[in-house]
């Protein structure tokens, strides 16, 4: 079904084919579920109520759009075609699911622009501005976010769906929201330090992703007084990581000592290899498929008594496959770990789309939270110490310096394939 609501001065709410009935059904089911906290759609009086805070806490500056929500025009800049169309669609589906959760009389106007077909991002922003946009959500990729921040032309406030590259300054009225593996790596480093560990090793994938995650972890860990004794890289295209794992655990040195002793005595000796004894933890961020190979190999090479930490990339909600990950400590968003609100949203989405519907992965939750962040920023609803949403599907959302939206995630550990929530965030 094609959604065709009346245009307002050339700014229609949507210009794309979309399953409106399914989205409206999901919104009604979600809004009517008793398990869903009403923090997602508070009454207007509650949204605008002043929040008292201690004098020592400074509220981050927010440029609110001083218009009633139904008169606000939101432009979404997402890839709707090309190789990133799937990611853009997931974000869009989550955003619009939250959108249709609001009563129709309170909804802003939304228009989606395809970044994959635009001549340039600058021209697309200019077009959205000419079309009357009061707020821009997107773009999604880091190069496009960097290009948007570099554009000094007059534009409305923007919630970018990625972080700027390190060192690039955010302009005014520019907010940054991302599912960032480097931000997670820094959170892991803080957790390792809080658990009392100061010496460890890292096993990371080869390539840019592994380099960025390792660098972020190392910087945060060393700043807190920790030290990585060694690091190694794994090739994700291979099915056996024994080589790099035995190297970083110094198992190869143990075998070399055996060979030296056998040569000295001139006879074979009974031998049990011994790993290094100077480490207190292992940092092993990797995709779930690779993590399910890393953990058994660590146990095979006598490191089963050393706690292993990872980012959310290591986890998928699959109890059968997670049997291989026993003992792994990781952090993730509430959407993936479950709870009253995530479970209610998932159940409502499944009921609204009985034939399958959208992909309900992390990007769906990202889009869902992006809508609520947009509304909060439009209305200037930022609480003490930058708190925007304590119950986000992607975490506890807080506005920090440079317009960064920080996510407070949940720590968990796998035991017999099941999730055990750990204390602290």
pLDDT single digits (tens) 294-345 = 999 999 999 999 999 999 999 998 877 788 899 999 999 999 999 999 999 9
pLDDT confidence of residue 149 = 94
CA-to-CA distance for 141 and 118, rounded, in angstroms? 14
Angle at 105 between CA 104 and CA 106, to 5 degrees: 90
- The whole-model pTM stands at 0.86
CA-to-CA distance for 89 and 358, rounded, in angstroms? 8
CA-to-CA distance for 326 and 66, rounded, in angstroms? 51
% the chain with pLDDT above 70: 81
CA-to-CA distance for 388 and 403, rounded, in angstroms? 12
CA-to-CA distance for 6 and 109, rounded, in angstroms? 10
The DSSP line for 14-67 is --SB--HHHHHHHHHHHHT-TTS-GGGS--HHHHT------TTPPPPP-----S
Task: Give domain 182-246+277-333+412-421's CATH superfamily.
Answer: Response regulator (3.40.50.2300)
- Max mean pLDDT among 6-15, 57-66, 376-385 falls in 376-385
Domain made up of 20-176+337-408: CATH architecture: 3-Layer(aba) Sandwich (3.40)
For residue 240, what are its two tokens?
């056996």
pLDDT confidence of residue 257 = 59
Task: Report how far apart, in Å, the C-alpha atoms of 200 and of each of 136, 193, 196, 306, 344 are.
Answer: 43, 11, 11, 9, 40
Q: What is the pLDDT of residues 285-305, one digit of tens each?
A: 999 999 999 999 999 999 999
Axis-axis angle for helices 85-101, 20-31 (nearest 10): 50
* Residue carrying structure tokens 């440029």: 63
User: For residue 190, how far is the Cα from the chain centroid?
Assistant: 17
pLDDT confidence of residue 15 = 42
Task: Report how far apart, in Å, the C-alpha atoms of 254 and of each of 239, 248, 278 are.
Answer: 24, 12, 14
**Residue 38: pLDDT over 60:** no
**Region(s) of the chain under CATH 3.40.50.2300:** 20-176+337-408, 182-246+277-333+412-421
pLDDT confidence of residue 297 = 95
Tell me the average pLDDT across 105-122: 93
Give the HSE-up count for residue 142: Cα atoms under 13 Å, Cβ half-sphere. Answer: 8
Tell me the average pLDDT across 18-47: 43
**188 phi and psi, to 5 degrees?**
-60, -45
Average pLDDT, the chain: 85
Tell me the average pLDDT across 75-96: 96
pLDDT confidence of residue 55 = 34
Phi-psi region of 9 (alpha: psi -120 to 50; beta: other; left: phi over 0): left
CA-to-CA distance for 287 and 267, rounded, in angstroms? 44
Contact between 192 and 309 (Cβ < 8 Å):
yes
CA-to-CA distance for 115 and 280, rounded, in angstroms? 46
């Amino acid at each position: 079904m094609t959604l065709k609501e009346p245009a307002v001065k050339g700014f229609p709410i949507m210009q794309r084919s979309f399953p409106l009935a399914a989205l409206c059904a999901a919104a009604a089911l979600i809004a009517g579920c008793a398990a869903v906290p009403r923090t997602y759609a508070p009454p207007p009086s509650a949204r605008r109520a002043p929040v008292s805070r201690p004098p020592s806490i400074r509220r981050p500056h927010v440029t609110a759009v001083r218009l009633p929500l139904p008169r606000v025009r939101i432009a979404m800049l997402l890839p709707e075609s090309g190789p990133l169309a799937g990611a853009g669609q997931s974000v869009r589906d989550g955003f619009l699911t939250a959108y249709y959760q609001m009563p129709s009389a309170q909804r802003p106007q939304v228009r989606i622009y395809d970044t994959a077909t635009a001549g340039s991002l600058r021209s697309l922003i200019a077009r959205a501005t000419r079309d009357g946009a009061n707020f821009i959500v997107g773009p999604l990729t880091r190069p496009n976010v960097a290009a948007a921040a570099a554009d000094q032309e007059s534009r409305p406030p923007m919630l970018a769906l990625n972080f700027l590259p390190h060192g690039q300054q955010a302009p005014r009225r520019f907010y940054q929201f991302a599912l960032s593996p480097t931000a997670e790596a820094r959170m892991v480093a803080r957790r390792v330090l809080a658990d009392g560990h100061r010496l460890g090793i890292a096993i990371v994938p080869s390539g840019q992703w592994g380099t960025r995650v390792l660098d972020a972890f190392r910087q945060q860990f060393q700043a807190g007084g920790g030290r990585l004794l060694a690091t190694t890289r794994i090739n994700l295209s291979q099915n056996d990581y024994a080589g790099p794992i035995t190297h970083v655990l110094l198992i190869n040195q143990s075998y070399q000592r055996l060979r030296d002793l056998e040569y000295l005595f001139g006879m074979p000796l009974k031998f049990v290899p011994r790993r290094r004894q100077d480490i207190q933890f292992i940092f092993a961020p990797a995709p779930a498929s690779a993590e399910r190979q890393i953990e058994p190999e660590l146990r095979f090479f006598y490191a089963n008594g050393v706690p292993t930490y990872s980012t959310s990339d290591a986890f998928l909600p699959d109890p059968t496959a997670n049997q291989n990950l026993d003992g792994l400590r990781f952090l993730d968003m509430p959407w993936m770990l479950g709870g009253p609100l995530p479970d209610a949203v998932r159940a409502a989405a499944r009921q609204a789309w009985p034939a399958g519907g959208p992909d309900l992965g992390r990007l769906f939750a990202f889009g869902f939270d992006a809508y609520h962040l947009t509304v909060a920023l439009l209305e200037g609803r930022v609480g003490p110490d930058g708190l925007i949403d304590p119950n986000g599907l992607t975490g506890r959302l807080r506005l920090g310096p440079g317009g960064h939206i920080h996510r407070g995630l949940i720590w968990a550990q796998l035991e017999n394939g099941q999730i055990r929530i750990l204390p602290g965030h």
